[in-house]
Structure 1
Amino acid sequence: MPIVQSMVSTPSSSAPLAPAQTLWVPGTPPLELRVWGRKPRGGAAPLVLHFHGGAFVSGDLDSGACLAELLASSGAVVASLAYPLAPAHRFPDAVEAGYAALEWLHKQRTRLAGSTAPLFLAGEEAGGNLAAAVALMARDRAHPPLAGQILVAPMLDPCNATASLRQTMGEATGCKWMDGWQQYLRGPMDAEHPYAVPGRAQRLAGLPPALILTGGDDPMRDEALAYAERLRGAGIAVHSGVLPSTTGWPDSLSEQPAQECPCAVEVREHFRAFFQAATPPPPS
């Protein structure tokens, strides 16, 4: 994917982040957003709606702070969503909450990130599933326009039958990702719904460009790469990367501060390049 000159500001990773602020998306109940990064003077920054991981049943804004901070230190304004968790809230509650937050952010983009701010989705593990699902929903509802989707170790296959997952689990008898799917889906029919399982979506054309990152030891590796190939086959611009086999992903993404996240430097560079490449150049 070529890098193009853009109107988006991408400050250096050494620049201090603005303190996170809390915003609320109106609704019943209202949805909490934790916002990282700052609107640049005289320009615009990528505006990212971020979904934390936790196998659909756990996780919160604190556990999602690692990836949110990495995104923000790559030049974005990042709004991390406290979405409703299963089993109290099964599919499609989290996806609909994500879409509501996306619509609200689109309306607030001038205030938060600049009038020309491009809009992105991002998430890790189950949050990667939700980011992909909301991208499908935004395409189907023809609004809002998206500049890209960032999926990190995304949880896309309820069958849990990939080689990478089997290699990671070894002889273990329990699988938290399988348990998470069982608590998230209402029944077998949901496993065929593209918003529940984007990896099984039959129609992928018209989606925004994607950055898909996984690790060599990531149990989600095979399903992430399979989705990347399916997107490419549908004509979607995709950049995918497999980082070294010492990431400990996806668990380590919620267990350490951003600066200590395995492969933090590489991840940040992937983010920065994707923001630049997915943003239209300024008019000549």
Structure 2
Amino acid sequence: MRRAMNNSSPSRVIDASPSGVELRIPDGAGIVHLARWYPHPATDAPLVLHLHAGGFVSAPAAGRMTAIERLLVQAGASVVSLQYPLAPAHPFPHALCAAYTSMLHLYREPTYARKKTYVAGAEAGGNIAAGLAMMVRDRNELPLAGQILFSPMLNPLLATDSQRRAKAGTAGCRFVEAWRRYAPRPSDASHPYAAPADAVRLDGLAQALLFTSDDDPLRDETRAYSQRLIAHGTHTQLLSLPSPTNFPAAYMHEAPAQAPWTAVALDSLRRLFAGTAHS
């Protein structure tokens, strides 16, 4: 996996709008990643690198904030939402490398640096966020205050009860196709950064806040992963949000204002950021 150069050039602002500031983030190897920055006026606001849903192969429509981006901003964070490279053109570990080098670049650049830095991801982005937390631990180049995982895709086996109830795991379903395109080689699907559910070493990771719901196809693997994190000594909180949520499809759009799960998620995020703001 590529490492960012120590003297990377600054992020370049290429467009500013009420919906955020578009950035170009160099990775030190001649590749530039696009991102959208939602700044927060407070100088001590935490910085969150957000990784979107989309089954590794697609991204939310441009021009409006997704439900997760809005929640993170409302909770008091300065959010950088990365447009990571998509499969199948860019299978594992391209997206993970892009996320890591982007976070390292932001950590080193005073314009975007914050006292506390988090990674947040939903569905496929939750997979990348979990892998990034392991990568940060293993490389030991920057601090990570926490990982925020919304219905993360963690296990390519697709054999849980919640997935069967959602009719996932059958040939041609979106989760099967997502894993096939993101981790096409057996060695990819068995790598702990790609399949965190099967990782042997989970100690030493940043604290974790995980979200799921009773109607979430990824409910069981989210719950199982939270239990494994706790068993390995990672401070972990699991929130089961009120149904209906329409997870994981809801992560690709702006949630309706009346969606009951958003208020519970917002309160938990605010508590997380407040609890680590001065630790």
TM-score, shorter chain, exceeding 0.5: yes
With 271-280 and 222-231 compared, the bigger mean Cα shift is at 271-280
Long gaps (5+) in structure 1: 1-16
Letter aligned with residue 99 of structure 2:
G
Shift of 1:258: 6.6
The root-mean-square deviation of aligned C-alpha atoms, in Å, is 2.1
Shift of 1:254: 1.3
Letter aligned with residue 72 of structure 1:
V
Letter aligned with residue 136 of structure 1:
M
Residues 76-98 of structure 1: CA deviation (Å, up to 9, x unaligned): 00000000000000111110011
Q: What is residue 36 of structure 2 aligned with on the other side?
A: 34
Aligned residues with identical type, % of pairs: 40
Residues 183-202 of structure 1: CA deviation (Å, up to 9, x unaligned): 11131121111111111111
1:33/1:206 Cα in 2 relative to 1: closer, same or farther (>3 Å)?
A: same
**TM-score by structure 2 length?**
0.87
Equivalent of residue 136 in structure 2, options 131, 135, 138: 138
**TM-score by structure 1 length?**
0.86
1:76/1:171 Cα in 2 relative to 1: closer, same or farther (>3 Å)?
A: closer
Q: Distance in 2 between matches of 1:48 and 1:68?
A: 10
Q: What is residue 149 of structure 2 aligned with on the other side?
A: 151
Q: What is residue 276 of structure 2 aligned with on the other side?
A: 278
Contact kept, 8 Å, 1:56 with 1:180, in 2: the verdict is yes
Instruction: Give runs of ≥4 in structure 1 deviating > 4 Å.
Output: 170-173
Equivalent residue pairs, number = 260
Q: What is residue 198 of structure 1 aligned with on the other side?
A: 196
Shift of 1:176: 0.2
Q: Distance in 2 between matches of 1:64 and 1:154?
A: 20
Q: What is residue 87 of structure 1 aligned with on the other side?
A: 88
Q: What is residue 57 of structure 1 aligned with on the other side?
A: 57
Residues 31-79 of structure 1: CA deviation (Å, up to 9, x unaligned): 0110113241xx4111000000111111146386221111011000000
Equivalent of residue 187 in structure 2, options 186, 189, 195: 189
Q: What is residue 227 of structure 2 aligned with on the other side?
A: 229
- Structure having greater relative contact order (Cα 8 Å, sep ≥ 6): 1
Contact kept, 8 Å, 2:226 with 2:238, in 1: the verdict is yes
Letter aligned with residue 54 of structure 1:
G
Q: Distance in 1 between matches of 2:168 and 2:96?
A: 32
Equivalent of residue 214 in structure 1, options 205, 212, 215: 212
Give runs of aligned pairs for residues 96-135 of structure 1, distance below 5 A: 96-108=97-109, 110-112=110-112, 114=114, 117-135=115-133
Letter aligned with residue 37 of structure 1:
P
Q: What is residue 10 of structure 1 aligned with on the other side?
A: none
Long gaps (5+) in structure 2: 1-16
Matched, 1:66 2:67: yes
Q: What is residue 11 of structure 1 aligned with on the other side?
A: none
Contact kept, 8 Å, 1:34 with 1:61, in 2: the verdict is no
Please give the secondary structure, in 2, of the residue aligned with 1:112: coil
1:252/1:262 Cα in 2 relative to 1: closer, same or farther (>3 Å)?
A: farther
